[in-house]
Chains A and B, each alone.
Chain A
């Protein structure tokens, strides 16, 4: 469905100077540098996949997304989506994709939501029968009835996102691009959007690519995650793989019956101790059973549990520590 080979997008950054002498010199000799927003990325996505595209701000996520949707022309590399080169046959291509940019609405600001949808029917030339059956279905799934007659400007953020999702799907796109679809929403609204996205993917086989900062989005929705930073694709695979490879240390939290004496464990270190509770950290490959049996041999234990590191923490560690490129 999506084929990307050695995709690059470089931007020329011109340096601006404050004083007029430098401006003049600039005019004669261009003072610029190249920013590699996307640097030699390759991947392919199959029909029906749901892929999370991750990376810190300015990593190259939206540049990639813009190229995939035909808004930007790559500097070099090959890019084919659903048999099209996006920027070459724009009008034909965009008829087959849907896109929601979380921060921007595609609805007409002053028009009742339903009229925006009707205008989109004309733009996408959607047959009336299909339009009404889709509308019926989305009305149910997204609870649109409560605000279908209100203009976009008066919708809450959650309502607007629901309306925008509906707008992006009315023409049955084969691929759906979602740029931060849950940004700024409360927990309930987020959950609702996620369930809807999942359902669309399952029922219609729509290929979905989403960028997000909310790891819960990826955890709940995506079987596959791609991570990009400084324009380079750092990771491409299952989210659990990411966790396994970079999740760092796990934790064992133990409640003792009485203050333990001469506490020592091979392969684990104590990272905190409060009253009768002691927390150990241990490497991913260490077997928990061994640790526990070593503990229970010498001490009376009331309770214990093992904690996986949070995905958020893993991601943060990757961003900050450049774990992947190292």
Chain B
């Protein structure tokens, strides 16, 4: 952990040498969230609601995912498939392996996409606004569960990044396919699951536990009934789903590394 801190601070010192471009980066990534959510909110005013959800209710979903995804994306930048593909190609992965320190900590410490700060802050903002305007959330026993939901999402997305990195050991063409699960999953989670066709919803509830991560918890926080009549404990699967995903990803990662050490690049 000490080492992780040292490595991150080094990254920060490096990034701070390019102050102007750093500020521009933060602002432009913020602008992505602003235009995406802004476009949705502007259009929303023309309509009566989205599958029975009001704008502030959707903001609860949207803000939560934006925050959790932004934070994970920032921390897991070293595992993001384009970054990791560079580690392999430029031999940095070999450098890491030549050092007597935990490999994953070195990769975590190798890059930190600080520019995501913009998305994270906006995510918190949108989420905070939603919490204020949804009085159903204001219960201590509900708020106590919130960190677990966020951790579950973080683990899930972190696991996806880990899988994406591992795939690049075999092929660098995986970026597009992985985007489907990372950014696609995030996009999907930003809106209530009820709006998607049944097959899509079932697929992303039971095979990929996307719906478990924030839709069911949101139903619980917002006091909304489950339109699909699934058991009442569904909202509490989020941390478990995230944990299982991360564990599976970790196994895959170890398998990939073993392959890397037997073939090189």
Chains A and B touch (C-beta atoms under 8 A apart): yes
- Give the interface of A toward B (CB within 8 A): 11, 63, 66, 69-73, 87, 90-95, 97, 99, 101, 103-104, 106, 108-111, 115, 119-120, 122-125, 151
Q: Which residue of B lies closest to A104 (CB)?
A: B91
Q: A91–B264 contact, CB under 8 A?
A: no
Report the minimal beta-carbon distance from A168 to chain B, rounded to whole angstroms.
9
The docked-state distance in angstroms from the alpha carbon of A152 to that of B25 is 24
User: What residues of chain A lie closer than 8 Å to B97, measured between beta carbons?
Assistant: 70-71, 90, 94
Tell me which of B10, B95, B262 contacts A115 (CB under 8 A). Answer: B10
Q: Indicate whether B100 reaches chain A with its CB closer than 8 angstroms.
A: yes
Q: B3–A123 contact, CB under 8 A?
A: yes
Q: Which residue of B lies closest to A116 (CB)?
A: B10
- Give the interface of B toward A (CB within 8 A): 2-3, 6-7, 10, 13-15, 17, 90-91, 94-95, 97-102, 106, 261-264
Q: B90–A111 contact, CB under 8 A?
A: no
Q: B264–A72 contact, CB under 8 A?
A: yes
Q: A95–B100 contact, CB under 8 A?
A: yes
Q: A69–B95 contact, CB under 8 A?
A: no
The docked-state distance in angstroms from the alpha carbon of A93 to that of B98 is 9
User: What residues of chain A lie closer than 8 Å to B106, measured between beta carbons?
Assistant: 123
User: What residues of chain B lie closer than 8 Å to A109, measured between beta carbons?
Assistant: 14
In the complex with contacts A69-B98, A92-B100, A119-B14 CB distance below 8 A: no
Tell me which of A72, A104, A110, A122 contacts B262 (CB under 8 A). Answer: A72
Q: B264–A94 contact, CB under 8 A?
A: no
The docked-state distance in angstroms from the alpha carbon of A103 to that of B262 is 22
Tell me which of A91, A99, A115, A122 contacts B2 (CB under 8 A). Answer: A122
Q: B99–A123 contact, CB under 8 A?
A: yes
The docked-state distance in angstroms from the alpha carbon of A260 to that of B28 is 86
Q: What number of A-B contacts does a CB cutoff of 8 Å give? A: 68
Q: A72–B261 contact, CB under 8 A?
A: yes
Q: Which residue of B lies closest to A171 (CB)?
A: B100
Q: Which residue of A lies closest to B92 (CB)?
A: A104
The docked-state distance in angstroms from the alpha carbon of A119 to that of B11 is 11
Report the minimal beta-carbon distance from A34 to chain B, rounded to whole angstroms.
13
User: What residues of chain A lie closer than 8 Å to B102, measured between beta carbons?
Assistant: 91
User: What residues of chain B lie closer than 8 Å to A71, measured between beta carbons?
Assistant: 94, 97-98, 261, 264
Q: B14–A66 contact, CB under 8 A?
A: no
Q: B95–A106 contact, CB under 8 A?
A: yes
Q: B95–A111 contact, CB under 8 A?
A: no
User: What residues of chain A lie closer than 8 Å to B6, measured between beta carbons?
Assistant: 119, 122
Report the minimal beta-carbon distance from A37 to chain B, rounded to whole angstroms.
9
Q: Which residue of B lies closest to A92 (CB)?
A: B100
Q: Which residue of B lies closest to A99 (CB)?
A: B98
Tell me which of B14, B91, B100 contacts A108 (CB under 8 A). Answer: B14
Q: Which residue of B lies closest to A63 (CB)?
A: B264
In the complex with contacts A87-B261, A104-B91, A111-B99 CB distance below 8 A: no
The docked-state distance in angstroms from the alpha carbon of A92 to that of B262 is 20
Q: B14–A104 contact, CB under 8 A?
A: no
Q: B100–A104 contact, CB under 8 A?
A: no
The docked-state distance in angstroms from the alpha carbon of A21 to that of B10 is 51
Q: Which residue of B lies closest to A108 (CB)?
A: B10
The 10 A-B pairs of least Cβ separation, nearest first, read A110-B14, A95-B100, A104-B91, A122-B6, A123-B101, A73-B262, A91-B100, A73-B261, A94-B100, A106-B95
The docked-state distance in angstroms from the alpha carbon of A195 to that of B3 is 34
User: What residues of chain B lie closer than 8 Å to A115, measured between beta carbons?
Assistant: 10, 13
User: What residues of chain A lie closer than 8 Å to B264, measured between beta carbons?
Assistant: 63, 66, 71-72
Q: Which residue of B lies closest to A177 (CB)?
A: B98
In the complex with contacts A66-B264, A94-B97, A94-B99, A104-B10 CB distance below 8 A: no
The docked-state distance in angstroms from the alpha carbon of A110 to that of B110 is 12
Report the minimal beta-carbon distance from B13 to chain A, rounded to whole angstroms.
6
Q: A124–B261 contact, CB under 8 A?
A: no
User: What residues of chain A lie closer than 8 Å to B2, measured between beta carbons?
Assistant: 122
The docked-state distance in angstroms from the alpha carbon of A108 to that of B15 is 12
In the complex with contacts A91-B101, A94-B99, A123-B100, A111-B10 CB distance below 8 A: yes
Report the minimal beta-carbon distance from B73 to chain A, rounded to whole angstroms.
21
Q: Which residue of B lies closest to A37 (CB)?
A: B264
In the complex with contacts A73-B262, A87-B261, A91-B101, A104-B13 CB distance below 8 A: no
The docked-state distance in angstroms from the alpha carbon of A91 to that of B97 is 8
The docked-state distance in angstroms from the alpha carbon of A70 to that of B7 is 23
Tell me which of B17, B95, B100 contacts A124 (CB under 8 A). Answer: B100
The docked-state distance in angstroms from the alpha carbon of A63 to that of B90 is 17
User: What residues of chain A lie closer than 8 Å to B7, measured between beta carbons?
Assistant: 119
Report the minimal beta-carbon distance from B225 to chain A, rounded to whole angstroms.
48
Report the minimal beta-carbon distance from A153 to chain B, rounded to whole angstroms.
10
Report the minimal beta-carbon distance from B264 to chain A, rounded to whole angstroms.
5
User: What residues of chain A lie closer than 8 Å to B13, measured between beta carbons?
Assistant: 110-111, 115
Residue among B17, B90, B262 facing the most chain A CB atoms (10 A cut-off): B262
The docked-state distance in angstroms from the alpha carbon of A11 to that of B262 is 9
User: What residues of chain B lie closer than 8 Å to A120, measured between beta carbons?
Assistant: 99
The docked-state distance in angstroms from the alpha carbon of A151 to that of B91 is 20
User: What residues of chain A lie closer than 8 Å to B15, measured between beta carbons?
Assistant: 110
